[in-house]
Each structure stands twice: as C-alpha cells, then as structure tokens.
C-alpha cells in the first residue's frame, strides 16, 4: 500500500487492531478556525514510508496544495485525494487531522524539525497510561475497549495532548506499530 493510500485507510477497525489501537474522532476537531497551520509548502514531494526495515522505502509522488482556509490536499497517482488540517502545538510540532471517506478522522503527529516533514500515526496504546487516564477523566477521550483499545477523541485538547506527548518523546511505540510518512521535496531529489 502506498503512503497516501495508508493515510486514506487508517480508521478502519481492522487496521486499527492490526497496528495496536488508533487515535480517531467521529467528527472533525480541527477546522479552518483552529487548524489552519501551514508548515508544509505547496509543491511536489516524495511521500516515503517503510513497512519493513529490510526493504526499500515506498516513495510515491505526492502533489501538495493548500486552499485559502488552510486545508491541505494531497494527490498521488492511483490514490484518492487526502484532505488534512494541521494545528501547531509546539515549535516545529503539529497535530494533523486526516479526513476519511466515512467522516471519521485519524490523527498524526507532524514534525518539521529538519528539511523534511514527517507524519507519525498516533496510537492510543503508545500514550502513557497516566495521560490516557487524565484524558478519560476530563471527558476528552472515550476508550473503546477490546483486545486493543481505540481512543476516540472528543476534544481538541485530547489530540493536542497526544501530539505533545509524541513531540516530547513521552510515548512508547512498539517497533512493529510505528508508522511514519516522510515528505521530501522533489527538487531536493533531482540530479
């Protein structure tokens, strides 16, 4: 599956279970009013993901555009467009909301500390238990229990807190669950 194809399918229950528990919402939490950060410039990027460290990364071309309200659109050959919003949570750190076909939303941590922009899929089970308990007590998340819990965000506070935990390195992702997509400008990769 291509990197952008993955962005379009992150909230399916089967994929959430396979990866260890998603961080999703049933309604958009980021809007034009609170999610219009634009750290990724419009242009052509290689959207690289690597499922297996022993294999070469998968790097489809992604064309990135932004509308007047800060809504990103990413297009890649063979994949449906990806719509996303970003909210700055720290210097070079962002919570990123990806809209799904069924009006669910998946959340990523966005990092642009270097020349590239990286998205990391936020997982409920990667958050420290103390943070999850605090968010549940405040009503910011509902945890759907099962073999692997799924965090359903109820507020912007929930996704900001999760993204800040990723930004500070206060998460414990399993190696097999960490999924990242790195956006590399095409001009940088030209001969």
43-97 pLDDT per residue, tens: 999 988 866 667 788 888 999 999 999 999 999 877 788 899 999 999 999 999 9
CB burial readout 69-103, b (16+ within 10 A) else e? ebbbebebeebeebbbbbbbbeeebbbbbbbbeee
What is the distance of C-alpha 114 from the center of its chain?
18
Instruction: Report the pLDDT value the prediction gives residue 150, as an integer from 0 to 100.
Output: 83
Task: Read off the pLDDT of residues 91-145 as tens digits, 9 standing for 90 and up.
Answer: 999 999 998 766 788 899 999 977 789 998 898 888 899 999 999 999 999 988 7
Task: Read off the pLDDT of residues 30-43 as tens digits, 9 standing for 90 and up.
Answer: 999 999 999 999 99
Write down the pTM of the prediction. 0.86
- Give the β-pairing of 150-153 and 180-185: unpaired
Distance CA 167, CA 160 (A): 10
- Cβ atoms of 126 and 177 within 8 Å: the answer is yes
DSSP class of residue 130 equals H
Residues with Cβ < 8 Å from 168, sequence gap 6 or more? none
The more confidently predicted of residues 160 and 51 is: 160
The more confidently predicted of residues 8 and 30 is: 30
């Amino acid at each position: 599956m291509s990197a952008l194809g993955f962005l379009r399918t992150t909230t399916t229950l089967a994929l959430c279970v396979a990866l260890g528990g998603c961080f999703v919402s049933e309604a958009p939490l980021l809007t034009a009013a609170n999610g219009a950060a634009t750290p990724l410039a419009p242009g052509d990027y290689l959207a690289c993901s690597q499922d297996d460290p022993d294999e070469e990364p998968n790097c489809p071309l992604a064309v990135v555009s932004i509308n007047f309200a800060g809504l990103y659109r990413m297009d890649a050959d063979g994949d449906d467009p990806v719509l996303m919003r970003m909210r700055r949570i720290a210097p070079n750190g962002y919570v990123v909301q990806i809209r799904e076909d069924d009006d669910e939303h998946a959340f990523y941590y966005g990092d642009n500390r270097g020349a590239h922009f990286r998205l990391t899929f936020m997982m409920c089970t990667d958050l420290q238990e103390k943070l999850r308990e605090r968010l549940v007590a405040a009503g910011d998340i509902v945890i759907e229990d099962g073999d692997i819990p799924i965090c359903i965000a109820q507020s912007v506070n929930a996704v900001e807190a999760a993204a800040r935990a990723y930004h500070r390195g206060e998460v414990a992702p399993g190696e097999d669950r960490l999924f990242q997509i790195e956006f590399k400008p095409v001009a940088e990769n030209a001969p």
